[in-house]
Amino acid sequence: MKKIYFRFLFYPLMGLSLFYMASCKKDGFLGQTVTSNLTKPTVFADSANTVAFLSNIYSGVGFSFNPGRFLYGPILSPTTNGGLDAASDEAEVYTSAGSTALAFESGTVNAAVITDDAYKNSYINIRAVNQLLANLPKSPINAFAKTQMRAEAHFLRAWYYAILLKHYGGVHIVKDSIYNYTDAIPAKRNTYAETVNYILADCDTAANDLPLVQSGLAYGRASKGACLALKSRVLLYAASPLFNGQSIGDGATKELVGYASYDKERWRLAKEAALAVISTGAYQLNIDNTTAPGYGFQHLFTLPVNKEYIFQLMRGSNADFESLWQPPSRTGKNGALPLQGLVDAFPMADGKLITDPTSTYDPQNPYFGRDPRLDYTIIHDQTPLQVRLASGKTPIDIFIGTYMGRSTGPDAVNVGTRTGYYTNKMLDPDAVSQDFTHPTKRCWPLMRYAEILLNYAEASNEYDGPTTLVYQAVEAIRQRAGLNPYQLPTGLSQADMRTVIQHERRIELAFEEHRFWDVRRWKIADQTENVQTYGMEVDRNNSTVSYKTFPVRKRNFRTAMYLWPFPQTEVAKSATMLQNPGY
């Protein structure tokens, strides 16, 4: 077989997908494993098929991030009902039909109703990595390409274990094992510490043989920078209150769901991991405050290639997020709907919170003079959106309010939206859902440099206090956002800076799969999730416009919900697999 140089195949062969997805039964990793001995030689004896097999493992890296992750309805034709945004205080489910997101909103989530996608998808892909590592030596690919592929496989295994870790805590580490249907598959969980260390070791192994950044045909593949960034995220979580000696577990589960005792040095490790990414000099914020204040923030998400993305799910031309989040008049549907609490979190353009009595916030003109990221994140009444006409395209205001108390149009509150808002984050202003002649080139941002700056600020503040470098990291985010002034008040205490950083993460990283996990690792979800949520009703009575908040849903949270339950079908298979506390 002719050897080939390594290239990235974004669209792997469907047959290969069926090969490794079918190698684990639908009931999950602990189910009996079926290996096709007929197709395996076909895959790994061919260089192109082997490369495509690796590419297929990449195709699943965004499932946890996916804002259309949770489904409801018939098995054969399910409909999306939001993702982790709807399971947090960012947004409300599109419909009150059952889904994992709704179970988190209502506090009714349990092992019998929880989706098994985090468990099943992660272990399926981990098994695929192990198959690749076992068979790669005999594949007819040149030595350099094999080294690169092996390193990428180690990163991908770390990535999927990191997904398991943030959902469940410590999980069973299979190492390089590939279980067949005749094997007794172990189920005993490794400790939280062991799982963290295994992820870090895989990242280090991968980083040794990967370039700092990828470019050209290899852009989108794992890099040394991605390895460093994943370490930063994992170590930040490990240092956080939920896991760092303040575990929700006890007895047999205590070390499965966190560290038994607090160690401040974990914050130092997290700080140094973030600094390792920053010190490479390979990444930078996408800044453009000349076109419009904060335009660099909005424009970033339309650029498939940029220096802020560290790891991303590569996509071909798509309208992924437009189809979820755009209003019905733009043929969007089924995405989560932003809540008033998130809207209120965005400060004024001068950085002052709207609750600050010295701010210029006007409740009868609530969207005027705000942090530019508000308009780039939320579609509210009279947000201008592009519409395509025969003569071209033009921005037309979208009306979400009512007219003289009556709903008007498909986008109106209580007609198209349950909260009075739609999501604008990551949408391409030039793309319209279902318009396949004008799609976007967007890819999904799974790790970006803004997160790393905030990781550094948080870890350094916890370890050293609010140093000059902590100020600089946070202010860089605020400056790119277009705030004027962007500087923070001098003399902040450590507690004050902690509040600033947590607030900045909420608005900068909204709808990017952070808020759900952040409030848990900070151990404040019992405050942020036990709330009455609100929406906004705008009433237009001729020339008079009034704004009134209204209740959407009373959220409920209990301590068990700091972690996910393992699916009941998995726990039932082995007495050695301990369920998470409270389930």
More confident site: 410 or 30: 410
Q: Is the pLDDT of residue 24 over 90?
A: no
Q: Please, which residues have CB within 8 angstroms of residue 290's CB and are 6 or more apart in sequence?
A: none
Cβ 454 vs Cβ 509: under 8 Å: yes
The pLDDT confidence band at residue 271, using thresholds 50, 70 and 90, is very high
| Percentage with pLDDT > 90 across the chain | 76
Tens digit of each residue's pLDDT (9 = 90 or more) over 550-578: 999 999 999 999 999 999 999 998 889 99
Which one, of 385, 377, 480, lies nearest residue 426 by Cα?
A: 377
Tens digit of each residue's pLDDT (9 = 90 or more) over 95-108: 988 899 999 999 99
Q: Is the pLDDT of residue 292 over 60?
A: yes
The span from the CA of 196 to the CA of 201, in Å, is 9
Q: Once rounded to an integer, what is the mean pLDDT over residues 187-192? A: 95
Q: Which helix (H) or strand (E) holds 534?
A: strand 532-541
Token digits of residue 210: 């990967």
Residue 437 is predicted with a pLDDT of 63
Tens digit of each residue's pLDDT (9 = 90 or more) over 114-165: 999 999 999 999 999 999 999 999 999 999 999 999 999 999 999 999 999 9
Q: Which residue has the tokens 């920078």?
A: 225
Token digits of residue 147: 């080294």
Cβ 107 vs Cβ 561: under 8 Å: yes
Q: Once rounded to an integer, what is the mean pLDDT over residues 224-234? A: 98
Cβ 570 vs Cβ 117: under 8 Å: no
Residue 338 is predicted with a pLDDT of 98
Q: Please, which residues have CB within 8 angstroms of residue 308's CB and are 6 or more apart in sequence?
A: 283, 284, 285, 286, 300, 445, 448, 449, 450
Looking at 490-533, list the stretches that DSSP marks H as alpha helix, in order from N- to C-terminal side: 494-508, 515-521, 525-528
Residue 481 is predicted with a pLDDT of 98
| Percentage with pLDDT > 70 across the chain | 90
Distance of CA 27 to the CA centre of its chain: 25
Domains contained in the chain, CATH given: 1-69+115-210 (1.25.40.890)
DSSP for 447-465, please give it: EEHHHHHHHHHHHHHHHH-
Q: Tell me how long the chain is.
A: 583
Beta bridge partners of 377: none
Token digits of residue 431: 């793309």
Q: Is the pLDDT of residue 397 over 80?
A: no
Beta bridge partners of 318: 440
The span from the CA of 68 to the CA of 81, in Å, is 6
Q: Once rounded to an integer, what is the mean pLDDT over residues 1-29? A: 33
Tens digit of each residue's pLDDT (9 = 90 or more) over 26-57: 333 333 333 333 357 788 999 999 999 999 99
Cβ 367 vs Cβ 380: under 8 Å: yes
Residue 32 is predicted with a pLDDT of 33
DSSP for 275-338, please give it: HHHHHT---------SSSTTHHHHHHTT-SS-SSEEEEE--SSB-HHHHHHS-GGGT--S--EE
More confident site: 432 or 527: 527
Tens digit of each residue's pLDDT (9 = 90 or more) over 330-358: 878 789 999 999 999 999 999 999 999 99
Q: 59-81: string of b/e by CB count within 10 Å (b at 16+)? A: bbbbbbbbbbbbbbeeeeeebbb
